Amino acid sequence: MMDWSDRHYRYFMRQISAQARLYTEMITTGALVHGDVDRHLAFSEEEHPVALQLGGSEPDELARCAKLGRQYGYDEINLNIGCPSERVQRGAFGACLMAEPRLVASCVSRILDEVDLPVTVKHRIGIDNVADYGFVRDFVGTVCEAGARTFIVHARNAVLKGLSPKENREIPPLKYAYVYRLKQDFPKLEMVINGGITTRAQIDAQIGKVDGVMLGRAAYHDPWLLADAGKTRADVVQRMVSYCREHPEFTLRGVARHMLGLYHGAPKARLWRRMLSDSEKLKRNDPGLLLEGLEVVETPGYVEVALST
Ligand SMILES: Cc1cc2nc3c(=O)[nH]c(=O)nc-3n(C[C@H](O)[C@H](O)[C@H](O)COP(=O)(O)O)c2cc1C
């Protein structure tokens, strides 16, 4: 997720869940061809398994970028065919490519010529007013012939004109049934469902109907939702302190901003957020701030005592 699933967030999430497959933000081919490759692609070994999500529509450029991804050690190349933003449409990629399944198939096949990694596709169930299931079925049918075996389906349409990206995550109705039909029609493909899933119970309810579940906003705002049994938040914070200390080149602000949701729904969640958002303290760039926050939220009665002394 743009601006969210950067390497710091992914490292943090990996401390919480050993198994979840993590995805980079969408990185455009332009950013890799003309920009600072290392800044976009460098990541920590501990993040595995991690997928590189690419945005683009030019098969040779995508293949070149996938090759870079391979060199950096990513485990999967994912193509973004779901982003509705106008900026992305001007670059002629993202969700508008659902109307061009043959081009998407060429992209997948060129990437597969170049790298021995799974190539997966993230897409919507339709664009604009298309309500026909046949549209997404034919899209998947064409693209899988090029060798994509996993499809991550955000189960709502993308409206290309008139809705912002944010509205495009909320307004077009979710139609999970389309994803279940895809699984029935393509039983050998792996179908991963995405959109509006926010609880463990909802995740469990999907398993059996589809092969996997992708969480977006909930995984960011409430990361503990995905915590492995036996993990504690204190362990995670300690690991993040070590991470910051091992990498003095990272700013504490850049790391801490992804940790604000760690105590989501728990007592003192607001206090944790407030402590980790303290501009003056963040400026000092001392990871000890995370330990201070931890002490405040984990010590029973700490605040009351602090206030009364
Ligand atoms: C801030 C933000 C950035 C996003 N960036 C991307 C992106 O780079 N690539 C992508 O495939 N989806 C992106 N998405 C969409 C999410 O991956 C997901 O498909 C969408 O939010 C619906 O799932 P959810 O209801 O679990 O959040 C983004 C969503 C948000 C909120």
Query: Do 41 and 260 form a contact (C-beta atoms < 8 A)?
Result: no
Question: What's the pLDDT at 113?
Answer: 98
In this predicted structure, what is the pLDDT of residue 93?
83
Q: Ligand 1: does its nearest atom lie under 6 Å from the Cβ of 126?
A: no
Q: 28 vs 6, 35, 207, 218, CA distance in Å?
A: 14, 10, 32, 24
Ligand 1 mean position, distance from CA 254 (Å):
20
**CA-166 nearest atom, ligand 1:** 31
- Going by DSSP bridges, is the β-strand pair 22-28/50-55 parallel, antiparallel, or unpaired? parallel
- pLDDT per residue, tens digit, the chain (309 aa), is 999 999 999 999 999 999 999 999 999 999 999 999 999 999 999 999 999 999 999 999 999 999 999 999 999 999 999 988 877 777 778 999 999 999 999 999 999 999 999 999 999 999 999 999 999 999 999 999 999 999 999 999 999 988 999 998 999 999 999 999 999 999 999 999 999 999 999 999 999 999 999 999 999 999 999 999 999 999 999 999 999 999 999 999 999 999 999 999 999 999 999 999 999 999 999 999 999 999 999 988 766 455 544
* H helix or E strand, kind and range, residue 24: strand 22-28
Whole-number pLDDT of residue 88: 78
Going by CA atoms, what residue is nearest to atom 18 of ligand 1? 216
Residue whose CA is at the smallest distance from ligand 1 atom 14: 1
The whole-number pLDDT of residue 308 equals: 45
Residue 239 Cβ contacting ligand 1 at under 6 Å = no
Which of 77, 217, 225 should be mutated for ligand 1, with most atoms under 8 A from CB? 217
Is residue 66 a contact partner of residue 147, using CB atoms and an 8 Å limit? no
* Cβ–ligand 1 contact at 122 (below 6 Å): yes
Per-residue pLDDT tens digits for 142-166? 999 999 999 999 999 999 988 999 9
Buried b (16+ CB within 10 A) or exposed e, 234-248: eebbebbbebbeeee
